[in-house]
Amino acid sequence: MLYSELARTYEKLETTPAKKEKTSIVAGLLKKSGEDLERVVYLLTGSVFPVWEKKEIGVAGNLMIRAISLATGFPESEVAGKFRETGDLGKTAEFCVSGKKQRSLVKRELTVASVFDTLRKVCVQEGPGSVDRKISLVASLLSSASPLEARYITRTVLEDLRVGVAEGILRDAISLAFSVGASLVENAWYLNPNYAEIARIARDSGEEGLKKVDLEFGRPVAVLLAEKAGSLKEAMRAYKNFAVETKYDGLRMVIQKSGGRVWIFTRRLEDVTAQFPDVRELALKSLPDGVVVDGECVAVEGERPLPFQVLSQRIQRKHGIGKMAEKIPVRVFLFDLIYRDGLLFDRPLSERREMLERIVIETENFRLADHLKNPDERKAEEFYRDSVSSGNEGVMVKNLDSGYHPGRRVGYWLKVKPVMENLDLVIIGAEYGTGKRAGAFSSFILGCRDPDTGDFLECGMVGTGIKEKSEEGLSFSDLTEMLKPLVEVEEGKRVRVRPEVVVEVAYEEIQKSPHYSSGYALRFPRFVRLRPDKSPEEADTVERIERLFRLQRGRSVTTSE
Instruction: Please list, in sequence order, all residues whose beta carbon lies within 8 angstroms of the beta carbon of residue 522, skipping any fewer than 6 positions away.
Output: 423, 446, 459, 460, 462, 505, 507, 509, 510, 511
- Residue 492, classified by CB atoms within 10 Å of its CB into exposed (0-12), middle (13-18) or buried (19+), is exposed
Q: Which residues of 424-452 are buried (b: 16+ CB within 10 A; e: fewer)?
A: bbbbbbbbbbeeebeebbbbbbbbbbbeb
Closest of 380, 375, 363, 51 to residue 197, by C-alpha: 51
For CA atoms 521, 523, 524, 528, give the dihedral sign: negative
Considering Cα of 260, then 265, then 271, then 274, what sign does the dihedral take?
Answer: negative
Q: Which of helix, strand or coil describes residue 275?
A: coil
How far apart (Å, rounded) are the C-alpha atoms in residues 153 and 443?
32
Which residues are annotated as catalytic? 247
Phi, psi of 228 (to 5 degrees): -95, 140
CA distance 395 to 388: 8
| Amino acid identity at 351 | E
| Secondary structure class of 232 (helix, strand, coil) | helix
Distance CA 435, CA 468 (A): 13
Contact between 18 and 162 under an 8 Å Cβ cutoff? The reply is no
| CA 445 to the chain's CA centroid | 19
Write the burial class of residue 473 (CB in 10 Å: 0-12 exposed, 13-18 middle, 19+ buried): middle
Burial of 10 (0-12, 13-18, 19+ CB in 10 A): buried
